[in-house]
């Protein structure tokens, strides 16, 4: 994002309080400075010489979860998360970011992911349909991928896998390294091109947002015009509606809640699909969380897990507490990163975590 746009956005947001109520970080920290207008005022105040980027302010700058909830609620669509990412890029370029930011960046540059010291797997084969795996489904919750492939096979789709073990570029962008994000995006797009696919399936809304919006807005990369992007849940829900996919009802009646995964608020057309799929297997309707659909908070699998792990943990706690509060004993979601973060702390809230794809795959009719 060019500097003028950062300034314009933060000038707009710095005294606006209209989306503060949905900001998850504001919600868990209660600090006015860690809310949309707080960050905007902080960036604007650095510009005016009222604050300087020092250890304390930089830490605050890296406390935004880059979840997009503010923008999703903004009547005038102010790109505040993009402006915050751009301010981080400025800070990072001046060597002012916390050490952990550079460490994570180094891992992204070297391995393409922050989790394992392994390079992305090469792409094998060609086909009409490709599926982007990414790093979370490769390293944090591989069962989701396996189950999704089984479900796709059931409707006659056997996609070529791309980006196996590689971050989609969101993390580098969020941490303030747009050129690394661009490199990662470039590699993914080359792989996609090599497959010859005309449809790219993704496992969750984070990938969907990154490919459909972030590439263009933050990185200036155009999505290939001949390739349709679709989430696996949306694709499967459509097959279910057409009658091409059927499930057996699960026998287990444990009270269950569906958790909209991280970044859901950025893909507003997706809310009904996972619910329709879940309804097809659950013996009783899933419970709805308070923070759901267009107000769903992230589950912790954002850059904060590296920069401010205690805030990320509280985001996870908050989702779990919400689920426990509506009487659930089981939480279900499909996104690998969300699943892995929820599972780390679920027991503390008396909850069990289940992947949506796995649940569906186990109940294929």
Partner 1 sequence: MKRALFQAEMIRSELEEIVGPAFISVEESDKLVYSTDWSWMPQMWLDRGRPLRTPDYIVHPASAEEISEIMEIANKYRIPVVPWGGGSGTQGGALPIFGGILVDTKRLDKIIEIDEKSLTVTAQAGIIGTQLEWALNEKGLTLPHYPASANCATLGGYLAPRGTGTISTKYGKAEDLVLSMEVVLPTGEIIHTPPVPQHASGPDFFRLFLGAEGTFGIITEATMQVDYLPEARLLRAVLFDDLHNALEAGRLMMTRRLDPFVIRLYDPASTLTRVRKILGYDFDGAYMVLGFDGDPDIAALQEQKAMEICARLGARDLGREPGEAWWAHRYDFYYPPQNLKLPWMYGTTETVTTYDRIEAVYYAEKKAVEEGFADWNVRFIGHFSHWFHWGVMLYSRFIIEEPPADAREALRLHNRVWNAAMQAVMANGGMINEHHGVGLKLARYMRRQYGSAWPFLLRLKRMIDPNGIMNPGKVGFGF
Q: Which residues bind partner 1 (CB under 8 A)?
A: 12-13, 15-22, 30-33, 37-38, 41-42, 45, 48-51, 56-57, 60, 74-76, 78, 290, 295
Could you say which of partner 1, ligand SF4, none residue 203 binds, taking C-beta under 5 to 8 angstroms by partner kind?
Answer: none
List the structure tokens of 70.
């503010």
CB distance 277 to 233 below 8 Å? yes
Closest contact distance (angstroms) between CB of 263 and ligand SF4 is 10
Q: At what angle do helices 3-13 and 80-93 cross, to 10 degrees?
A: 130
Closer CB to partner 1, 253 or 325, in the complex: 325
Could you say which of ligand SF4, partner 1, none residue 103 binds, taking C-beta under 5 to 8 angstroms by partner kind?
Answer: none
Closest to 190 measured CA to CA, from 120, 286, 257: 120
Dihedral sign, Cα of residue 202, residue 223, residue 211, residue 187: positive
Tell which one of 5, 7, 11, 16 touches ligand SF4 (CB under 6 A): 16
Please, which of residues 47-106 interact with ligand SF4 by CB under 6 A?
Answer: 64-71, 74, 78, 80-81
Closer CB to partner 1, 56 or 110, in the complex: 56
d(CA 221, CA 31): 35
CB distance 123 to 195 below 8 Å? yes
Q: What angle do CA 84, 261, 326 make, to 5 degrees?
A: 120
Closer CB to ligand SF4, 36 or 206, in the complex: 36
Could you say which of ligand SF4, partner 1, none residue 25 binds, taking C-beta under 5 to 8 angstroms by partner kind?
Answer: ligand SF4
Closest contact distance (angstroms) between CB of 85 and ligand SF4 is 9
Could you say which of ligand SF4, partner 1, none residue 70 binds, taking C-beta under 5 to 8 angstroms by partner kind?
Answer: ligand SF4
Q: Where are the beta strands (DSSP E) in the chain?
A: 129-134, 160-164, 199-202, 228-231, 256-258, 287-288, 330-333, 352-355
Could you say which of ligand SF4, partner 1, none residue 49 binds, taking C-beta under 5 to 8 angstroms by partner kind?
Answer: partner 1
Could you say which of partner 1, ligand SF4, none residue 38 binds, taking C-beta under 5 to 8 angstroms by partner kind?
Answer: partner 1
HSE, CB side, 13 Å, CA atoms: give it for residue 55. 2
Closest to 133 measured CA to CA, from 112, 153, 162: 162
Closest contact distance (angstroms) between CB of 48 and partner 1 is 4
Which residue shows structure tokens 């989702």? Answer: 319
Check residue 37 for interaction with ligand SF4 (CB under 6 A).
Answer: yes
CB distance 288 to 304 below 8 Å? no
Tell which one of 6, 25, 130, 152 touches ligand SF4 (CB under 6 A): 25
Closer CB to ligand SF4, 164 or 304, in the complex: 304
Closest to 267 measured CA to CA, from 318, 242, 232: 232
Q: What is the DSSP letter of 364?
A: B
Closer CB to ligand SF4, 191 or 260, in the complex: 260
Binding site for ligand SF4 (CB under 6 A): 12-13, 16, 18-19, 23-25, 36-37, 39, 64-71, 74, 78, 80-81
């Amino acid at each position: 994002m060019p500097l003028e746009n950062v300034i314009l956005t933060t000038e707009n947001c710095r005294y606006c309080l209209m989306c503060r109520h949905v900001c998850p970080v504001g919600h868990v920290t209660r600090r006015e400075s860690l809310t949309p207008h707080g960050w905007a005022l902080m960036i604007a105040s650095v510009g005016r010489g009222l604050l300087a980027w020092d250890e304390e302010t930089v830490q605050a700058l890296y406390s935004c979860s880059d979840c997009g909830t503010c923008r999703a609620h903004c009547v005038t669509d102010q790109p505040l998360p993009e402006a915050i990412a751009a301010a981080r890029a400025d800070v990072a370029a001046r060597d002012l970011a916390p050490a952990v930011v550079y460490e994570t960046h180094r891992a992204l540059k070297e391995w393409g992911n922050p989790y394992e010291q392994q390079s992305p797997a090469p792409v094998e084969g060609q086909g009409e349909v490709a599926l982007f795996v990414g790093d979370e489904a490769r390293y944090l919750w591989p069962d989701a991928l396996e189950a999704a492939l089984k479900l796709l096979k059931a409707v006659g789709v056997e996609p070529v896998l791309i980006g196996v073990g590689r971050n989609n570029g969101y993390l580098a962008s969020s941490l303030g390294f747009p050129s690394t994000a661009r490199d990662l995006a470039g590699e993914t797009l080359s792989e996609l091109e090599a497959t010859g696919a005309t449809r790219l399936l993704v496992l969750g809304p984070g990938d969907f947002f990154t490919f459909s919006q972030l590439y263009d807005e933050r990185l200036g990369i155009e999505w290939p015009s001949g390739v349709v992007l679709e989430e696996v849940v949306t694709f499967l829900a459509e097959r279910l509606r057409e009658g091409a996919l059927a499930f057996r009802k699960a026998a287990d009646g444990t009270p269950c809640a569906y958790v909209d995964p991280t970044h859901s608020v950025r893909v507003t057309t997706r809310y009904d699909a996972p619910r329709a799929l879940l309804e097809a297997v659950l013996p009783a309707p899933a419970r709805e969380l308070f923070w759901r659909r267009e107000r769903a908070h992230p589950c912790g699998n954002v850059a904060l897990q590296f920069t401010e792990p205690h805030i990320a943990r509280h985001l996870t706690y908050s989702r779990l507490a919400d689920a426990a509060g509506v009487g659930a004993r089981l939480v279900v979601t499909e996104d690998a990163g969300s699943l892995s973060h929820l599972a780390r702390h679920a027991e503390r809230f008396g909850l069990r975590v289940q992947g949506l794809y796995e649940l569906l795959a186990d109940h294929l009719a």
